[in-house]
Chains A and B, each alone.
Chain A
Amino acid sequence: MMEITEGSHAVADAVRLCRPQVISAYPITPQTHIVEALADMVANCQLDAEYMTVENELSALSACIGASAAGSRTYSATTSQGLALMFEVCFNAAGMRLPIVMSIANRALGAPLSIWNDQQDSISLRDAGWLQFYAEDNQEATDLHYLAYRVAEDHSVLLPAFVCFDGFILSHTYEPINMLSQEDVDRFLPKFSPYERLDAADPISFGMYATPDYYHEFRYEMDRALKESKAIIYKRGKEFGQMFGRDYSAMVEGYRLEDADTAIVAMGSICGTTKDAIDEMRDEGKKVGLLKIRVFRPFPTEEVAKALSHVHRIAVLDKNISLGAKGAVALEVKDALYGSGIPVKGYIIGLGGRDVRKKDIKAIVALVEKGQGDMFYGLRREVL
């Protein structure tokens, strides 16, 4: 049913429909309305879950780890410095192979303090072993939660997942969303069936120490599971499409890309504005297209290389910066296109809430056409 609602409330509703059994979150800034709405749902008996309020984000994810190891479907949400505080246990959750799903309303990291959007927070945890989904709009932000649980809990995957959606730009925006019903979600997402669980009657341990004889192989297994999750994303994304008409089987999605000379690669809500800019450039006769990255981990290297094999130049937009190197998406795209001879240029854009307009996208296309890139776009030189 179509309804108009705020992004974070829509996400809270989607999470409710996933029937999490344990939710733990730190409710104070940086946080969104998601966990506030979920707390209301639990208090009002609209959601039968254990809601654990804790003293900080580190404890929130730690509580989720315990609950997930005990065999329950668990959920948390955070952003920015809150995610940074979880750094240590993010690695534990993945290493223990616990399919926790966490919403990240992407925001910048301090210092300097910024409450605004970019994607530095989740990108900075790209190596933690979590799946990372990025939403273009609030429809995707809700749908990707169903997909995230379905894929994460698959016994061939068993890894936690971030569902990332841009803070404020999506989390605080009202727009129409087609919400699924409980029956719909129950059809798509079966009950969590843990592969192993903590059980007093049959004790096992999670997250024990591994000597040099074993650690190397543990990491290999995680990497293999993450890479093999591509097939599960494809399968379940397709199934979702067959059920509800929105197909998420593709980890990357082209827009007017088939005959494009110049390709823009982007991730998250910036894709919407980019599509509008592309339509206008197309009207002016410029052959520009977009490749949207919906899944950043596992990174769809082969899919990116295939989708971009025919273009003459590529401009990658990054709302993050691996300081001292490049934007994280540009690095991946350069790797994917290595040896193809197609020039790939990266543009750091929209950090800390700097607004991105259609004219900025057009300016970047003009830059890549001149071969200029691998730069911060739109620097205010007067304040440097």
Chain B
Amino acid sequence: MRELRIHGRGGQGSVTAAELIAVAAFEGGVFAQAFPAFGVERRGAPVQAFVRFDDKTIRKRSQVYEPDYIIVQDSTLIKDVNVFQGVKKGGIVIVNTEKKPDYKVPEGVKLITIDATTIALNAIGLPITNTSLMGAFAAASGEIKFSALENALNHRFPKELAVKNIEAARQAYNIIKGAA
């Protein structure tokens, strides 16, 4: 079983990202489970959402404490929340930032930074970074195919919005693929 933990702030679409990643994984024949860690819901508050991937039925219902993958939607969370806690050796951390990291991920963990905010502003016209980060996750992890992500986005959003979000996801996907 592989596990993903998404850290964001209320309103950034972390829960939607988890759901759509699960939908895309399911299309690829994987048993996927996505769920949020509900808190007191308000914009800007730190939130978490989780995805599990496995070849067989997932029965476990607890939250994700030792993720294989972490997505950080907002790098300002890093000073407030221990976002890297429990990440497995060999794991991948994707951080949305335009800056050079002034923090360290645990040893043996791969850090990928991407300026998802700029990508989102250009492609969507709004600083909604979740779809760019889904694209980056697809490229970095290989857990989901880009075409499946495209289908999930098309299914979830009205056409015009879907086109823009797919473009954001594609740009991020290509940047990470290109860097690999």
Smallest beta-carbon distance A235→chain B, Å: 27
B59 touches A174 (CB 8 A): no
Does A355 lie within 8 Å of B38, measured CB to CB? Answer: no
Minimum CB–CB distance for A66 against chain B, Å: 35
Q: Which residues of A contact B40 (CB under 8 A)?
A: 115
In the complex, chain A residues whose CB is within 8 Å of the CB of B59: 137, 271-273, 275-276
Interface presence of B116 (CB below 8 A): no
Q: Is B22 an interface residue (CB 8 A)?
A: yes
Interface string of B22-38 (1 = CB under 8 A from A): 11001000011111101
| With A4-B23, A174-B23, A176-B26: A115-B62 Cβ-Cβ less than 8 Å | no
Task: Tell me how many residues of A have a C-beta within 8 Å of chain B.
Answer: 26
Stretch at the interface among A39-47, A85-93, A165-173, A326-334: A165-173
State in angstroms the CA–CA spacing of A168 and B60 once bound together. Answer: 14
Across the interface, which residues of A come within 8 angstroms of B3, CB to CB?
Answer: none
Q: Which residue of A lies closest to B59 (CB)?
A: A272
Instruction: Report the bound CA distance from A169 to B19 in whole Å.
Output: 14
Give the one of B23, B35, B36, B40 with max A CB within 10 A. B35
Instruction: Count A-B pairs with CB separation below 8 Å.
Output: 63
B175 at the interface (CB under 8 A from A): no
* Residue B157 lies at the interface, judged by CB distance under 8 Å to chain A: no
Q: Is the interface of B mostly helix, strand, loop or mixed?
A: mixed
* B65 CB contacts on chain A under 8 angstroms: 357
> From residue A10, how far is it (CB to closest CB) to chain B in Å?
13
**Choice from B32, B60, B62 contacting A174 with Cβ under 8 Å:** B32
In the complex, the chain A residue whose C-beta lies closest to that of B32 is A4
B58 within 8 A of A: yes
Decide if B104 is an interface residue (CB 8 Å cutoff).
no
For A242-278 the 0/1 string (1 means CB < 8 A from B) is: 0000000000000000000000000001111101100
Are the C-beta atoms of B38 and A168 separated by less than 8 Å?
yes
Residue A358 CB within 8 A of the other chain? yes
Q: Is the CB of A174 within 8 A of B63?
A: no
Decide if A273 touches B38 in the complex (CB within 8 Å): no
Residue of B nearest to A3 (CB): B26
Find chain B residues with CB under 8 A from A275 CB: 59
The answer to whether the Cβ of B61 comes within 8 Å of any Cβ in the partner chain is yes
Set of chain B residues within 8 Å of A176, measured between Cβ atoms: 26, 31-32
Which B residues are in CB contact (< 8 Å) with A137?
59
Q: Which of B1-53 contact A (CB under 8 A)?
A: 18-19, 22-23, 26, 31-36, 38, 40
State whether the Cβ of A374 lies closer than 8 Å to any Cβ in chain B: no
Given the known inter-chain contacts A116-B38, A174-B23, A176-B26, please indicate yes or no for A355 contacting B62, CB distance below 8 A.
Answer: yes
Lowest 10 CB-CB distances: which A-B pairs, in order? A272-B59, A4-B26, A173-B35, A174-B34, A357-B62, A175-B33, A174-B22, A269-B61, A276-B60, A273-B61
Q: Which residues of B contact A (CB under 8 A)?
A: 18-19, 22-23, 26, 31-36, 38, 40, 58-63, 65
